[in-house]
Amino acid sequence: MSKVTGKKVVIEGSLAVAEAVKYCRPNVISAYPITPQTHIVEDLAQMVADGELKAEFVNTESEFAAASVVFGASTAGARTYTATTSQGLFLMFEVLYNIAGSRLPIVLTCANRAVSAPISIWNDQQDSLAVRDAGWIQVFCEDAQEIHDFQPIAFKVAEDPKVRLPFMTMLDGFVNTHTYEQLVLMDQALVDQYLPTYKPVVRLDPAHPMTFGALAMPDVYHEIRYMLNRALMGSMSVYADAVKEFNETFGREYTPFLEEYRSEDADVVMVSMGSLCGTIKDAVDELRKEGMKVGLVKLRMHRPLPKTAIRKALDRASVVAVIEKDISLGLEGIIATDVRATFAGHDGPNVLSYVAGLGGRDVTVPQLKTIMKEAATWKGRESPDEPFWVGLKRDIIPEV
């Protein structure tokens, strides 16, 4: 990584986000505090107060209002940013769909947290995955360096005239937001070169009045939603190009859709997203030492779902153990269902769903090793209809 330019620091994950957002020069930031996102918006507020970041920082009375403020600001042609998690993301639910349907390039950071009820402030990924259908581009990050680097990528892709879609980046609440990691900060001059000033295609402007948010009758709504989906699918190639350009500018080596860790010749491959992948890499290394052919495919882009890339990364495996911190209640892990979808009608591995770490429960290296060994025994068998729950304390669960 000799080409990597920028200052080396050890900072809190939340500050890594705030610093990156600062370099992207947003015009308007609006957010409502909610644990564990708070440090991100507090850091940004301090930067504005100190004149370090020239932006309008709008405090609101709820996340619904914060999302609506960035909606209005983006429609008026500003570069906008917000951050939230869990209940706050859910309170924004209506506005998230409205933003995507209105083709606004708003950037949002979600500090993944469990959802109520019962209430929990600790990390899992139920929140951001629940809004996967809203039309936002969704990219999950593993560590502070990634979440830092993917902010300008997010703005660049969102604002591309061929895309014009909102972009959500994810980091894990507490695990990423409240821990200190070493990272290399981006150089402001390079960010300015990579991410030019936002030039909206249309905006609210008395000199050129336009109407936004018209009523679509049945004769046009179907097609307008098709156009939205077409733009979302098309964003994959724009995103891949943006990541490539980022690598060249900043000296990084990101692969856009997923990262393959020792999975090329693996028999059992784990699939996951976010910070858990760090732990999985340790488990993979230990099992490899013990002679097992295992690996990890870390999924980065979740929406749109990069099916071709996923198939290519997994089709040599016999068993795929999808381990995730979420569940689609009444079915299984969401990513597991997505991986199954990529193989529908194709020959492929046996896909197993593992639900782990809900509500901030630690997932350990020994647990992961056990899972991979167990997954190997499912070679050639029909996968069960219900997911496996990792580390379930059966002794405290009452009988039915």
Partner 1 sequence: MATNAPATKPKTLKDGYIPPAERLFSPGHRGCAGCGELLAARLVIEAAGPNTIVANSTGCLEVTTTPYPESSWGVPWVHSLFENSAAVASGVEAALKSMGRKEGVNIIAQGGDGSTVDIGLGLISGMLERGNDILYVCYDNEAYMNTGVQRSGATPFCASTTTSPSGEQSFGNMRPKKPMVEIAAAHGIPYAASASVAYPRDLQKKVKKALSIKGPKYLHIHVPCPTGWYAESINTIKIGKLAVDTGLFPLYEIENGVVTGVKKAKVRPKVEEYLKTQNRFKHLFAKPGGDEVIKQIQAIADRNAERLGLDEK
Partner 2 sequence: MAEKLTDGAVVKPASTHVNKTGAWRSMRPVVDLEKCVKCYICIDLCPEGAISALPEKKGVQVDYDYCKGCGICSSACPQTAYTMVREEK
Span interacting with partner 2, options 101-109, 342-350, 351-359, 370-378, rule CB under 8 A: 101-109
Tell me the closest approach of the beta carbon of residue 229 to partner 1, in angstroms: 18
Q: Is 201 in the site for partner 1 (CB under 8 A)?
A: no
Q: Is 214 in the site for partner 2 (CB under 8 A)?
A: yes
Q: Which of 38, 80, 85, 102 binds partner 2 (CB under 8 A)?
A: 102
Which of partner 1, partner 2, none does residue 64 bind (CB under 5 to 8 Å by kind)?
Answer: partner 1
Does residue 123 contact residue 173 with C-beta atoms inside 8 Å?
Answer: yes
Phi, psi dihedral angles at 147 (to 5 degrees): -65, -35
250-309 residues in contact with partner 1 (CB under 8 A) are none
Q: Is 66 or 139 the residue whose CB approaches partner 1 more closely? A: 66
**Which residue bears the tokens 């009758």?**
217
Span interacting with partner 1, options 33-41, 130-138, 214-222, 325-333, rule CB under 8 A: 214-222
Q: Is 211 in the site for partner 2 (CB under 8 A)?
A: yes
In one-letter notation, the amino acid at residue 34 is I
* DSSP letter assigned to residue 340: H
Q: Is 33 in the site for partner 1 (CB under 8 A)?
A: no
Residue window 156-195: x/- pattern of binding to partner 1, with contact defined by CB under 8 A: ----------------------------------------
Which of partner 2, partner 1, none does residue 2 bind (CB under 5 to 8 Å by kind)?
Answer: none
Joined together, the tokens standing for residue 158 give 């969102």
**Rg value, the chain, Cα:** 21
What's the start-to-end Cα distance of the chain, in Å?
56
Tell me the closest approach of the beta carbon of residue 161 to partner 2, in angstroms: 9
Q: How far is CA 347 from the centre of its chain?
A: 28
152-171 residues in contact with partner 2 (CB under 8 A) are 164
Residue 74 φ/ψ region, left for φ over 0, alpha for ψ in the -120 to 50 degree band, beta for the rest: alpha
Distance CA(228)–CA(33), nearest Å, equals: 30
Residues 6+ apart with CB under 8 A from 169: 107, 108, 109, 110, 139, 140, 141, 147, 150, 151, 154
Distance CA(113)–CA(115), nearest Å, equals: 7
Q: Which of 22, 25, 39, 103 binds partner 2 (CB under 8 A)?
A: 103
Residues 6+ apart with CB under 8 A from 104: 71, 74, 75, 164, 166
* DSSP letter assigned to residue 395: G
Q: Which of 62, 182, 193, 377 binds partner 1 (CB under 8 A)?
A: 62
Which of partner 1, partner 2, none does residue 89 bind (CB under 5 to 8 Å by kind)?
Answer: none
Q: Is 328 in the site for partner 1 (CB under 8 A)?
A: no
Which of partner 2, partner 1, none does residue 77 bind (CB under 5 to 8 Å by kind)?
Answer: partner 1
Q: Is 25 or 298 the residue whose CB approaches partner 1 more closely? A: 25
* DSSP letter assigned to residue 331: S
Question: Using CA atoms in the order 150, 234, 75, 154, what is the torsion angle rounded to 10 degrees?
Answer: 0
Joined together, the tokens standing for residue 340 give 């199954």
Tell me the closest approach of the beta carbon of residue 139 to partner 1, in angstroms: 24
Residues 6+ apart with CB under 8 A from 320: 268, 269, 270, 271, 314, 339, 349, 350, 351, 352
Q: Is 392 in the site for partner 1 (CB under 8 A)?
A: no
Q: Where along the sequence are the contacts to partner 2 (CB under 8 A)?
A: 101-104, 164, 201-202, 209-214, 216, 220, 223-224, 227, 231
Q: Where along the sequence are the contacts to partner 1 (CB under 8 A)?
A: 27-28, 30, 54-56, 58-62, 64-66, 68-78, 80, 94-95, 98, 102, 204-206, 208-217, 220
